[in-house]
Amino acid sequence: MNNDITVDELLEMSTHYYATTKDIMKIGCIGEGKALRIKNHIVNLIGEPETIPRDKVPMDKVFEFFHINMDYIEKIINMREGINNGNR
């Protein structure tokens, strides 16, 4: 079984403003313990944890942590849609 996240899944997740521990686990292909440490790290970086919902962190900060380039993801999606529509 392949646990890698797909481009489509990443794009769908990018539509959510906040990430849960399960989202972080899926994006990073990691376990719960490491995801919780990453989430706590992001909360500490924000500096005002009381401004975000409990047990969540901003999705854009999760993408930054994992060095996910959303422009590249969108480019892949657009290129694939172009090929599927007969354009190149």
pLDDT tens, the chain, 88 aa long: 467 888 889 989 999 999 999 999 999 999 999 999 999 999 999 887 778 888 899 999 999 999 999 898 888 888 888 777 766 5
The pLDDT of residue 33 is: 98
Give the Cα-Cα-Cα angle 73, 78, 81 (nearest 5 degrees): 125
The pLDDT of residue 1 is: 43
Amino acid, res. 3: N
| CB-CB neighbours of 35 under 10 Å | 21
Contact of 62 with 27, CB cutoff 8 Å: yes
Task: Report the C-alpha gap between 18 and 16 in whole angstroms.
Answer: 6
| Residue 6, phi then psi, degrees to nearest 5 | -90, 165
Cα–Cα separations (whole angstroms), residue 84 to 6, 67, 69, 80, 88? 17, 28, 23, 6, 9
